[in-house]
Structure 1
Amino acid sequence: MGMLQEFKDFAVKGNVIDLAVGVIIGGAFGKIVDSVVADLIMPLVGAVIGKLDFSNLYVVLGNVPPGTEATLAALKKAGVPVFAYGNFITVGVNFAILAFIIFLMVKQINKLKKEAPAPEAPPVVTPEDVLLLREIRDSLKK
């Protein structure tokens, strides 16, 4: 029964729930970034470079069966080994954009966080003997 209680305490802690929410939102956000890269950025890059479709950049590493269409999907379906570097370029751009967006988000969150005020230093307590010596000194000056 002790291990079950420990698990329950662990599972309902705020950090675990926050992590679960973060993973779910991160997955959805990843799909948005994938769409931005695949549907918006890579076509623009392809248009600038020369209307390249990065997803279909590959090098055939094996023999192509006769009658197989010369597209990446058809070659993979036929079991032909291909070096699909175009997909790697797309995933690399996707990662760079995602990392930059997360950097900007963390930067803004850090700006929004209020710095905790420094704790006030405790007042200096003058020892009683020093106070007495000051009283004596002051009385002798009079």
Structure 2
Amino acid sequence: MMGEFKDFVSRGNVLDLAVGVIIGAAFGKIVTSLTEDMIMPVIGVVTGGVDFTNKFVVLGKVPDTYKGSLTDYAALKAAGVPMLGYGAFITAVIGFVLMAFVIFQIVRMANKMMPAKPEAPAAPAGPSEVDLLTEIRDALKKA
């Protein structure tokens, strides 16, 4: 079993996958920073100073022991208040769209760089159905 595992791990595809996962995680952090630190502030300025990180709807009761601001999403969330954080969701959707677009561009560029696969030669054309039926008819007439 250990030999099979060693063979599995030493295959190129597994190593490529591991490298891809590590690079993908690092790239995800870059896209998250791009979204939260660069794009969302610009969107906030364009929309008149709207800060999407603090856009939420409180769904339940705020504990009596809570002493923080009722407009601080992170503090309310840490206090266990049930909330619908649509601002964080909008930020995540924008991050996803950015990530998907960049991955699309990478795959598109990689496909252009790869040599085109030659088309398989067409199978030699055999007799048509009409020809085969004609041969069968003629053979039956002779019999």
> TM-score, normalized by length of structure 2?
0.78
SS at match of 1:50: coil
CA distance in 1, matches of 2:105, 2:119: 27
One-letter code aligned to 1:52: V
CA distance in 2, matches of 1:96, 1:30: 12
- In structure 2, the residue matched to 1:96 is 97
SS at match of 1:106: helix
Tell me how far 1:119 sits from its aligned partner: 6.4
- Decide which of 40, 43, 47 is 1:42's aligned counterpart: 40
CA distance in 2, matches of 1:78, 1:32: 29
CA distance in 2, matches of 1:77, 1:91: 19
CA distance in 2, matches of 1:120, 1:89: 51
1:1-142 equivalences in 2 (<5 Å): 3-66=1-64, 67-70=67-70, 71-118=72-119
> TM-score, normalized by length of structure 1?
0.78
RMSD: 1.6
Any conservation in 2 of the 1:76–1:82 contact (CA below 8 Å)?
yes
Deviation digits for residues 35-67 of structure 1 (CA, Å, limit 9, x no counterpart): 100011111111111211111110011122353
Tell me how far 1:76 sits from its aligned partner: 1.3
CA distance in 2, matches of 1:115, 1:65: 64
CA distance in 1, matches of 2:79, 2:4: 52
Identity of aligned residues (%): 54
One-letter code aligned to 2:27: F
Gaps of 5+ in 1: 122-142
SS at match of 2:116: coil
Deviation digits for residues 85-121 of structure 1 (CA, Å, limit 9, x no counterpart): 1100000000000000000010000000011345679
Any conservation in 2 of the 1:68–1:78 contact (CA below 8 Å)?
no
Gaps of 5+ in 2: 123-143
CA distance in 2, matches of 1:65, 1:119: 70
Figure out how many residues of one structure are paired with residues of the other and give that number: 119
TM-aligned CA distance change 1:59 to 1:9, over 3 Å: same
